[in-house]
Structure 1
């Protein structure tokens, strides 16, 4: 994460530095983008950049945290549903919002695998809210330990993200509207209701 001095920069300057870094990491890959090229393209000196970040991994972490934040914003906060139909409709809206965001922001699209792999517990509160609400409504099975179900759900989301990202990047026609949700419904022990298309 950025050092305290980075937080004292003007917000537009912070955004500019992170935007340049995000573009480089997206274009060249999170593991191969050149830290020196990012520094040069950002218009800051090497000595200054080390006052903002401990190093390349620190900068990458800040970029990926921004990607995760935008992905969660696109999904929207989870709100307790009144019934199973509303539960699935809320998931569908979140999926549409996420897909629209990724199509409109190719740098975020390119960094989804790295951002979700490194997400750790940051996304868990959203998943925990979905699972708790689904169990309350009887949409999600209650015969599996909650921690195991959470881990399996996150794994399915990450696998579906990777699959969907690759399809979007390659421009392949893939059934993004049903396949991941059918898989998830199977894991949860609940068929998708008719008319739900994420």
Structure 2
């Protein structure tokens, strides 16, 4: 894993830190994590090469700082998963979390472009934790089957919802109302039936 930025970067005023990371995030999102030019980024951010190397130990260090910030923003949009009291509340919380994440990605295209790289950098651990908690809660409520390994079921659930976000974003961009019923249908099939109380209310 790439080390964090040099401590000197964190001694900059928060506004300046945010400005530098925003410029870098836009470049990495537009040109890709492999092809974005470090020299162009620091020039656009108003830094000399000397200043840039004062704050970052090179291009990969800056990229790591950007991806860490993207991951934090995406996870904040998703929110912390808390156990539901009943199946109806479970489906409601799942819908709320999915909607919040979709809205964030729709309004932050740079985060959308870099989310995959950010999750890969973190090894998926922070992301998987949310889905493991979801699957375990679903099992407790009789919604999710128990004959599949928890980690595998959590990964499969994350894949379905990731695909759902890719489908949902163009719909939102086109101004069309979003009907998540097909997504819940996919999840019910993956999860093996169980209780569907509340699932029919998801839109």
| Residue among 45, 67, 72 paired with 1:42 | 45
Range with bigger deviation, 110-119 or 42-51: 110-119
| Number of aligned residue pairs | 196
Of residues 144-153 and 13-22 in structure 1, the stretch that sits farther from structure 2 once superposed is 144-153
| Residues in 2 aligned to 1:174 and 1:31: alpha-carbon distance in whole angstroms | 36
**Where does structure 1 lack aligned partners over 5 or more consecutive residues?**
none
How do residues 1-198 of structure 1 correspond to structure 2 at under 5 angstroms?
1-120=4-123, 121-164=125-168, 167=170, 171=174, 177-190=180-193, 191=196, 193-197=199-203
* Partner Cα separation in structure 1 for residue 61 and residue 172 of structure 2: 27
CA contact (8 A) 2:181 2:200 kept: no
Q: Deviations over 1:62-88 (max 9, x none)?
A: 212211211111111111100011011
With normalisation by structure 2, the TM-score equals: 0.83
Question: Structure 1 101/170 Cα, relative in aligned 2: closer, same or farther at 3 Å?
Answer: closer
Query: Alignment RMSD, CA only?
Result: 2.5
Give the match's secondary structure for 1:122: helix
